[in-house]
């Protein structure tokens, strides 16, 4: 449906300002991400997404499987975005520098996109091949950095869990205003990651 053209002169029946934006799955997920990042994942509803896109709620069902499907799509988008951020951060570096760069990138993603981050931290549902594949790709990025520490198998899995827990805990406290002392948070974070790195038993690189 076109909106009325406000120009005094005719537009020949076609006016670019009267056309609505294209509605597709990507647009729906982008709108959801904007809402979740600005107001929190718990504030994400189909009604708010529809309002943001200037459509009716039933129109969204052509692109997502209700609110659960939207949250799942947002989770997938969040995992993929964090993969891109960590890959960019670790290009051309290795060893301790790569580990610190990866940790900083993951923290920055969580800070800049809290809603997408919150959606992405849950383990994939069994049978969700796309989300499972993205999660494995993310693990692959971290494993590539851990390779210089000669870690593999269970040892690498424990290291990844430890790193993830450190970053998640720090970011959670940071976002909740849990750090009240007048000390630089960036330095505290780097020191924390440095302690983790020292515990890996680095053997060169």
Residue 71 has what pLDDT? Answer: 97
Most confident stretch, 35-39, 126-130, 143-147, 201-205: 35-39
18 pLDDT more than 60: no
Residue with tokens 């796309």, as numbered in its chain: 130
Domain 75-199 sits in CATH 1.10.357.10: yes
Query: Average of pLDDT values for 125-141?
Result: 94
202 pLDDT above the threshold of 60: no
Structure tokens at 159: 């290291």
pLDDT over 70 percentage in the chain: 88
- Which ranges of 91-184 does DSSP label H, i.e. alpha helix? 95-112, 114-120, 129-146, 153-175
> Is 21's pLDDT higher than 80?
no
Question: What's the mean pLDDT in 92-116?
Answer: 96
pLDDT of residue 7: 43
**pLDDT greater than 90 at residue 133:** yes
Q: Is the pLDDT of residue 99 over 70?
A: yes
Mean pLDDT of the chain: 89
Residue 201 to residue 95: CA distance in whole angstroms: 11
Asked if the model's pLDDT at residue 9 lies above 60, the reply is no
Write down the residue that tokens 């002169």 correspond to.
9
**pLDDT of amino acid 20:** 55
Q: What is the mean pLDDT of residues 102-117?
A: 97
Look at the chain and count its residues: 205
User: Collapsing DSSP states into helix, strand and coil, what is residue 180?
Assistant: coil
pLDDT at 128 over 50: yes
Instruction: From 101, 97, 135, 118, select the one nearest 171 (Cα to Cα).
Output: 118
pLDDT class for 19, splitting at 50, 70, 90?
very low
């Amino acid at each position: 449906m076109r909106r009325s053209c406000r120009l005094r002169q005719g537009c020949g029946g076609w006016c670019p300002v009267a056309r609505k934006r294209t509605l597709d799955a990507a647009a729906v997920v982008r709108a959801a991400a904007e809402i979740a990042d600005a107001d929190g994942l718990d504030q994400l509803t189909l009604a708010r997404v529809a309002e943001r896109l200037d459509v009716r709620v039933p129109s969204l069902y052509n692109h997502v499987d209700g609110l659960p499907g939207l949250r799942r799509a947002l989770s997938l988008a969040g995992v993929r975005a964090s993969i891109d951020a960590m890959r960019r951060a670790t290009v051309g570096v290795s060893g301790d520098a790569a580990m610190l760069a990866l940790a900083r990138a993951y923290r920055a993603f969580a800070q800049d996109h809290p809603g997408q981050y919150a959606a992405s931290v849950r383990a994939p549902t069994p049978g969700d091949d796309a989300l499972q594949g993205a999660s494995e790709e993310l693990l692959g990025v971290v494993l590539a950095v851990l390779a210089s520490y000669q870690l593999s198998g269970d040892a690498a899995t424990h290291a990844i869990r430890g790193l993830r827990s450190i970053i998640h805990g720090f970011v959670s406290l940071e976002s909740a205003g849990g750090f009240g002392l007048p000390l630089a948070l960036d330095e505290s974070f780097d020191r924390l990651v440095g302690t983790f790195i020292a515990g890996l038993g680095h053997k060169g690189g």
